[in-house]
């Protein structure tokens, strides 16, 4: 999904894009200008020869071996690599991140056993919702962890409330934050929907922006990082940080504000200084955007997290899709099961939501689909 995000936004910046992926059916392969289906670890010379002449390299992967190779390749070719190794190594481990938060007195969920049930259990080395589970009692917790190395897992209090994300970009000691987005999750805690911008009061916006800037300064961040938080009982708490190109939120922000994060990254790394573009703002009628994913079959349209798209084949970008501004989909005529990333805009969130509902009804009517489901995580609150 990071590859889709990078390719999509680079094309929106008006750039020529070359994609490298070892999978022949990579989702972004049809969005790029040029696609090379190679494994750069087993065919390094092929990569080095084909990457020559490019202005910069943007990793869209979290494979440590691949990232190490790209660091070496950037040094050999002299092509800037938009990657902060030190920040990534800290943020790619939830345990290291939590220790970092503790040093800075950053508000976070309480760790087990200093909290009560229910709990969230998540792997330290994964990002997003991968491996995330909830437990409601000590027997469930022991059963879950008995066959695992407990050092590889983070166990902390389960919190309910709206989720928010903010991206921060740093270069040569200068930093900027991007608009805050609100996230909605599916039943497995995978982000299925992004609202941009988030509707927060000014004090919480200021608090979240200062928190993101504080983390970036302490890391001396060179590149982009996202900070995911939850608003629990009126207080913001940081769930995780990731120093790599995020997925979903950048495109939502682009459609609501005109700000292109990939453009900021590319020009900063090629020009050697923080690039702050003048946003190409949409009209006042398009100030709010909704970005979301669906799995479509003959029986139902089901909202779900980005894992739906990650399991699809090559995607196509369509405009004015049943009334939506844009859509990314693997649909072809006659296909019974397909995926859809839908982007709708409006002058208010309510207007964008009404348009989105109309688009879904039109799809149901066109394909005679009887049901629509929109799952959320089960509430475990007391």
169 with 252, same domain: the answer is yes
265 close to 224: Cβ distance less than 8 angstroms: yes
Which pair of structure tokens corresponds to residue 379?
A: 């509430």
User: How confident is the model over 257-299, as pLDDT tens digits?
Assistant: 999 999 999 999 999 999 987 665 556 667 999 999 999 999 9
Question: Is 101 within a domain?
Answer: no
Query: CATH no. for residue 201?
Result: 3.30.470.20
Exposed/middle/buried for 247, CB within 10 Å: 0-12, 13-18, 19+?
buried
pLDDT at 367: 96
266 with 165, same domain: the answer is yes
pLDDT at 259: 93
CA distances from 20 to 6, 27, 28, 41, 244 (A): 12, 12, 10, 12, 17
Per-residue pLDDT at 239 exceeds 80: yes
pLDDT at 283: 63
Q: What gap in Å lies between CA 294 and CA 342, rounded to an integer?
A: 8
pLDDT at 330: 97
pLDDT at 286: 72
User: How confident is the model over 313-363, as pLDDT tens digits?
Assistant: 999 999 999 999 999 999 999 999 999 999 999 999 999 999 999 999 999
25 with 61, same domain: the answer is yes
Residue 61 CA from chain centroid, whole number: 12
Selection from 300, 272, 289 nearest residue 355 by Cα = 289
Q: Helical H runs in the chain?
A: 2-12, 44-51, 64-77, 85-91, 94-104, 138-145, 202-219, 249-257, 261-271, 307-310, 349-367
User: Domain limits at 214?
Assistant: 88-95+160-271
260 with 177, same domain: the answer is yes
The number of domains in the chain is: 4
* 124 compared with 312, residue with greater pLDDT: 312
135 with 147, same domain: the answer is yes
pTM (2 d.p.): 0.94
Question: Is 278 within a domain?
Answer: no
Q: What gap in Å lies between CA 203 and CA 234, rounded to an integer?
A: 11
Question: Is 331 within a domain?
Answer: yes
Band of pLDDT at residue 195, cut at 50, 70 and 90: very high
User: How confident is the model over 78-123, as pLDDT tens digits?
Assistant: 999 999 999 999 999 999 999 999 999 999 999 999 999 999 998 8
pLDDT at 145: 84
Selection from 252, 123, 128, 98 nearest residue 189 by Cα = 128
Question: Is 312 within a domain?
Answer: yes
Question: Is 103 within a domain?
Answer: no
Per-residue pLDDT at 221 exceeds 80: yes
51 with 66, same domain: the answer is yes
Question: Is 361 within a domain?
Answer: yes
pLDDT at 152: 83
Per-residue pLDDT at 124 exceeds 80: yes
Mean pLDDT over each residue of the chain, to the nearest integer: 94
pLDDT at 278: 62
Question: Is 44 within a domain?
Answer: yes
Name the phi and psi angles at 379, rounded to 5: -70, 125
208 with 114, same domain: the answer is no
Q: Is the peptide bond preceding residue 345 cis, with omega within 30 degrees of 0?
A: no
Question: Is 105 within a domain?
Answer: no
pLDDT at 113: 92
User: How confident is the model over 146-190, as pLDDT tens digits?
Assistant: 877 777 889 999 999 999 999 999 999 999 999 999 999 999 999
**Count of CA atoms in the C-beta half-sphere (13 A) of 123:** 10
Band of pLDDT at residue 128, cut at 50, 70 and 90: low
Among the three residues 139, 157, 175, which one is the final residue of a domain in this structure? 157
Q: Taking the chain, what is the end-to-end CA distance rounded to the nearest angstrom? A: 35
pLDDT at 281: 54
118 close to 137: Cβ distance less than 8 angstroms: no
pLDDT at 355: 97
Q: Which residues of 301-324 are buried (b: 16+ CB within 10 A; e: fewer)?
A: bbbbbbbbbeebeebebeeebbeb
146 with 182, same domain: the answer is no
User: How confident is the model over 131-142, as pLDDT tens digits?
Assistant: 788 989 999 998
Per-residue pLDDT at 308 exceeds 80: yes
Band of pLDDT at residue 229, cut at 50, 70 and 90: very high
Per-residue pLDDT at 127 exceeds 70: no
pLDDT at 311: 86
């Amino acid at each position: 999904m990071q590859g889709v995000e990078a390719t999509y936004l680079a094309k929106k910046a008006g750039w020529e894009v070359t994609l490298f992926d070892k999978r022949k059916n990579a989702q972004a392969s049809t969005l790029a200008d040029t696609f090379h289906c190679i494994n750069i670890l087993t065919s390094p010379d092929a990569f080095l020869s084909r990457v020559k002449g490019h202005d910069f390299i943007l990793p869209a992967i979290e494979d440590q071996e691949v990232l190490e190779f790209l660091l070496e390749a950037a040094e050999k070719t002299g092509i800037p690599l938009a990657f902060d190794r030190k920040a990534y190594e800290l943020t790619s481990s939830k345990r290291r991140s939590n220790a970092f938060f503790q040093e800075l007195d950053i508000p976070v969920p309480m760790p087990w056993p200093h909290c009560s049930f229910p709990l969230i259990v998540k792997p330290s080395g994964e990002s997003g919702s991968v491996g995330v589970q909830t437990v409601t009692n000590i027997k469930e917790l022991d059963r879950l962890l008995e066959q695992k190395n407990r050092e590889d897992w983070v166990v902390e209090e389960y919190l309910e409330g709206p989720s928010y994300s903010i991206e921060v970009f740093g270069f040569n000691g200068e930093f900027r934050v991007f608009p805050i987005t609100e996230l909605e999750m599916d039943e497995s805690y995978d982000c299925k929907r992004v609202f941009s911008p988030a509707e927060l009061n000014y004090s919480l916006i200021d608090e979240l922006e200062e928190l993101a800037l504080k983390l970036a300064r302490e890391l001396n961040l060179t590149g982009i990082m996202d900070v995911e938080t939850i608003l629990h009982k009126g207080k913001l708490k940081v769930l995780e940080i990731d120093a790599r190109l995020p997925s979903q939120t950048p495109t939502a922000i682009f459609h609501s504000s005109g700000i292109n994060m990939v453009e900021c990254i590319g020009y900063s790394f090629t020009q050697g200084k923080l690039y702050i573009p003048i946003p190409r703002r949409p009209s006042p009628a398009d100030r709010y955007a909704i970005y979301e994913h669906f799995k479509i079959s003959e029986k139902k349209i089901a909202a779900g997290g980005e894992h739906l798209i990650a399991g699809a084949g090559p995607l196509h970008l369509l405009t004015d899709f049943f009334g939506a501004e844009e859509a990314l989909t693997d649909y072809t005529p006659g296909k019974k099961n397909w995926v859809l990333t839908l982007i709708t805009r409006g002058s208010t969130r309510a207007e964008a939501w009404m348009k989105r509902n109309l688009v879904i009804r039109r799809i149901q009517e066109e394909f005679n689909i009887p049901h629509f489901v929109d799952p959320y995580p089960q509430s475990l609150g007391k």
